[in-house]
Amino acid sequence: MGNTIFSKIIDREIPAKIIFESDTVLAFQDIKPQAPVHVLIIPKIEIPKVSDLKGKEHAQLLGEMFDAANKIAKDLGISEDGFRLVINCGPNGGQEVYHLHMHLLGGRPMTWPPG
Ligand code: 5GP
């Protein structure tokens, strides 16, 4: 049992449109999509935010999150045209849910700088 809405999605206590699942990673559609493709990729273990990551401890898990992002991008047909991966960290980073997650955004051209 976890503390955030994403733990409840992992535990199937609340529904989500799940796109990909492995032993360590879950990916599901964002409830408020900001692009034609907007998927959240999360570790199943609870890590609140990027600044809690430890390279040696979490390297494999992070690799698996990137592998999942690439697989989903290919499966959803946005790999060729490109996409954006975003991880918000803390209040100034715009993080709302304190369970580490990577946004996979695609299906339209992105602008820069971010807001
Ligand atoms: P953050 O701002 O923390 O980087 O992103 C949190 C994301 O989670 C937001 O894009 C928001 O739309 C999404 N989100 C919040 N609650 C839910 C939910 O209950 N289900 C799903 N699928 N996405 C959620």
Single pTM value for the model: 0.97
Is 101 noted as a catalytic residue in this protein? yes
Residue 2 confidence (pLDDT): 64
Rounded average pLDDT over 7-27: 98
Q: Is the distance from the beta carbon of residue 16 to the nearest atom of ligand 1 less than 6 Å?
A: yes
Catalogue all structural domains in the chain, each as residue range(s) with its CATH number. 5-106 (3.30.428.10)
Instruction: Work out which ligand 1 atom sits closest to the CA atom of 101.
Output: 4
On the CB side of 32, CA atoms within 13 Å amount to: 1
**Taking 70 as the threshold, does the pLDDT of residue 1 lie above it?**
no
3-class state of residue 52 by DSSP: helix
pLDDT tens, residue by residue, 69-88: 999 999 999 999 999 999 99
- C-alpha 63 chain-centroid distance: 13
